[in-house]
Structure 1
Amino acid sequence: MIQRIQSIYLSLTGIIGLVVGYITDFIPDELTDMLLLFMIGLLAFVSLFCFKSRGVQRKINYLNIIINVVLIGFMVYDLLNSSGGRNFLPEKGVELLVPVLLIILLAMANKYINKDDKLVKSVDRFR
């Protein structure tokens, strides 16, 4: 499980999602962002531990990408309705980088899951 590269990508996604979700906990009007980030982190760890079923792992990652897109939508809506920067993020729009980074990490994990699946199927053909 840990020796696979997609495990590293999924671990990074889970850690970043949970840590940033905890940081946004200090901003009182960001409850939906916090809950979505926690859900993204938890789904990444669930996907990490579904390593025996690559199909389920891919589906969980696709669901996680969809949740990230919804999170981006909520963040864009919040940014369009806010007047300036946040409490500790002085630039407007910097927080949108986190879901984009998470989408990239999940896409890379899916790429290597597909690669793993093709490798297993090619070895099964020889049996």
Structure 2
Amino acid sequence: MIQRIQTIYLILALIITGALPFVFPLWKLSTGKDFYFMLDQVYVVLLGISTTMTLISIMTYKKRQNQFVLNRLNIILNLILLGLFVYRSLNLSGEVVQVSEKGIGMFLPIVAIVLLVLANKAIKKDEDLVKSVDRLR
């Protein structure tokens, strides 16, 4: 399990969606306080689902097709999450609604998407290798 590169990518994606949102704020309010994802229930639910899907994908390392599908769904979920971040930041930008600057936490779904895509490429490569070996038999 751990010797496969896609597992490393998935563990990094798990850390990014499960732990780093607690560290990096989404944006800074004009009052100087950081806005973390825990202050909005939609973000909590979406990041929780994304983290759970990544963990399930790591545990299903013997079923590459299921892992591939779970990663695709997780990519779509992270794109939705990124879209919500961008929508909220664009609609709530400016000092009128007290959002003064964007934080690095908004870019965490992008990094997770990149890692999930890399994991899917490695899974596809493994699947192709297994199919080529089966073809030789």
Question: Would you say same fold, with TM above 0.5?
Answer: yes
In the alignment, which residue of structure 2 is the partner of 1:5?
A: 5
The number of residues matched between the two structures is 124
**Is the Cα–Cα contact under 8 Å of residues 78 and 109 in structure 2 kept in the other structure?**
yes
Matches within 5 A, 1:32-71: 32-71=42-81
- Partners in 1 of 2:115 and 2:135 — Cα distance? 31
The one of 59, 82, 88 aligned to 1:78: 88
Percent sequence identity over matched residues?
43
Normalised by the size of structure 2, how large is the TM-score? 0.79
Where is the strand percentage greater, Structure 1 or Structure 2?
2
- Do structure 1's residue 94 and structure 2's residue 125 form an aligned pair? no
For residue 37 of structure 1, report the CA deviation from its aligned partner. Answer: 1.3
**Is the Cα–Cα contact under 8 Å of residues 9 and 109 in structure 1 kept in the other structure?**
yes
User: More relative contact order in 1 or in 2 (CA 8 Å, sep 6+)?
Assistant: 2
Structure 2: any 5+ residue segments left out of the alignment?
26-34
The structure that has the greater radius of gyration is: 2
- Partners in 2 of 1:28 and 1:63 — Cα distance? 23
Two-structure CA RMSD over aligned residues (Å):
2.4
